Amino acid sequence: MRDIQNIFCIGRNYAQHAKELGNEVPSSPILFTKPTNALALADGQTLSYPNGKGEIHHELEIVLKIGSAKGSTHVDERVVEMALGIDLTLRDMQSELKKKGHPWERAKGFRNSAIVTPFWAFPGVEAIETVLFSLQKNGETLQEGKSTDMLFNFQRVLDECEQAFGLSEGDVIYTGTPEGVGPISDGDVFTLLWDGQEKGSFKVSM
C-alpha cells in the first residue's frame, strides 16, 4: 500500500445506485479524490470510525492500479493490478455539503474510508466481464455487481482520470459502486468476494 500515489474515484457509475440515492444518472463520469491517509487494508483487522457524525455508508468497488506503461492509453496495458475496495461515505454530512454546494471531501476522505484488499494481477477487461463481485455484512450479501453493469467502462474511466488529473504509476481508481449501499455499525464484519472467493475482510469499531 505504500506505493499508492493518488486515489481517484468515480461517483454514480451504476445506474441503480444513483437511483437508490435519489440522484440523477450522470451523462459523464463524476470524479473526486481521497487522500492517501484514508487508505486501510482489508486484511481481517478491526478499523475504527467516528460516532456522532451521522450514518457511514459502505460502497463496494472494483479498484484498478496503474502501472508504468507510458505512451499507452489502453486499459489492458496501463492497468497492472486490481483489487476490491470500499469507499466509505459520511452520508448525512455529504447530503449537507451537497445542499450548500460545497465539495464532498470532508464526507469522503476521513481516516480508513478507502478500504482495499490485497491487489492481484489484472487479467484484462474481457476476462472479468462476467465475474460477479460482492460484499457480505455478517454473512449476508448486501451488494453485488459486474463490471459490465457500469455506466462508464474501464476505458472511459481511465481516459477521464487521465484528462482531468493525469495518471502515474501507483495511482489507483475506485470505479464506482453497485446498488445496495447502507450503514455500517459497531461490530459489523465485512467480507469482500470476487467470483465467490474471499479477497479481504475487516471488522468495524465505533
pLDDT tens digits, 102-134: 888 899 999 999 999 999 999 999 999 999 999
Residue labelled with grid coordinates 492509453: 73
Architecture of domain 7-205: Alpha-Beta Complex (3.90)
Rounded Cα distance, 85 and 10, in Å = 13
Mean local confidence (pLDDT), 69-94: 90
- The CB density around residue 1, as the number of other CB atoms within 10 Å, is 12
Question: pTM of the entire structure?
Answer: 0.94
The answer for 176, left when phi > 0, alpha when psi is -120 to 50, beta otherwise, is left
User: Which range has the worst mean pLDDT, 6-10, 43-47, 97-101, 166-170?
Assistant: 97-101
